Amino acid sequence: MTDQDLPIVLPVAYFPPLSWMAIFLATEVPLLEINETYPKQTLRNRCYILGANGPQRLSVPVKKPHGNHTKTSDIIIDPTLPWAMQHERAIASAYRRTPYYMHYEAELAGFFRKQHSSLSDLCHEGLALCLRMLRTDKTWDYTKQFSPHSRNLALHFPFETTNQPAKIFPAYFQAFSDRLGFVPNLSVLDAIFNLGPTETMLYLRRLAAEIGKTFPAYSG
């Protein structure tokens, strides 16, 4: 069996970065990894948006009930911290003047005001929300057990914003572009609010093609 015959496995992600979403949409049957030992400080519980002062990280506070051996599926959200209100306000502050934010404001408010107990449920509902925004019925599944015998992008692909080669990202107009220039590989929310669903889907197809050229082992 060659690498190309193995399934592509993606990490769960909180409002995923554009590189993640491009690969997800280009993969016939995406699998999301929830049986790994949870690694902290990754896209699993954080995303990046573009504020007036540059990229802004939004992190969901989590707890590991089984210590360092806790699986991603068992990670719980810390209910004592007001992260949801803070994230909702940060996104509104960053994007309220973009062309498409107003179309999604009410649904975003509903998402943030719902009580989410586990990180996997939060990421599941956040991904479903992003796909509704993109007007696609793309589906996905989850791993049944952790296996190193897969094209596990959670282990090998540089999804984090600061590690991605910026040259593979076509530029598009962003809020604050006049002062900050183009910032690549933010949360897919950035493209949706600035470009709208149709143009974002076209952008993600172009990005998937560029990723396939740069990382051919992980192209769909």
- Residue 217 confidence (pLDDT) above 70: no
pLDDT confidence band for 195 (50 / 70 / 90)? very high
Residue 5 has pLDDT above 90, yes or no: no
Q: How confident is the model at residue 192 (pLDDT cuts 50, 70, 90)?
A: very high
Over residues 9-13, mean pLDDT: 94
Six-digit token pair at 196? 């709208």
Residue 120's H or E segment, with its range, is helix 119-133
Compute how many other C-beta atoms are within 10 angstroms of the C-beta atom of residue 7: 16
pLDDT of residue 216: 67
d(CA 80, CA 178): 39
Helices 18-26 and 188-195: crossing angle, nearest 10°? 90
Instruction: Express each pLDDT in 14-42 by its tens digit.
Output: 999 999 999 999 999 899 999 999 998 89
Q: Per-residue pLDDT tens for 122-173?
A: 999 999 999 999 999 999 999 999 876 667 776 667 787 656 667 889 999 9
pLDDT tens-digit map of 79-136: 999 999 999 999 999 999 999 999 999 999 999 999 999 999 999 999 999 999 999 9
Instruction: Using only the alpha carbons of the chain, give its radius of gyration.
Output: 17
pLDDT at residue 184, as a whole number: 93
- What pLDDT is recorded for position 149? 64
Q: What residues have CB less than 8 Å from 202, skipping those under 6 apart?
A: none
Instruction: Spell out a b/e string for 121-144, using b for 16 or more CB atoms within 10 Å of the CB, else e.
Output: ebbbebbebbbebbeeeeeeebbe
Integer Cα distance of 165 and 18 in angstroms:
13
CA distances from 84 to 77, 79, 95 (A): 11, 10, 16
pLDDT category at 1 given cuts 50, 70, 90 is very low
| 41-86 per-position pLDDT tens digit | 899 999 999 999 999 999 999 999 999 999 999 999 999 999 999 9
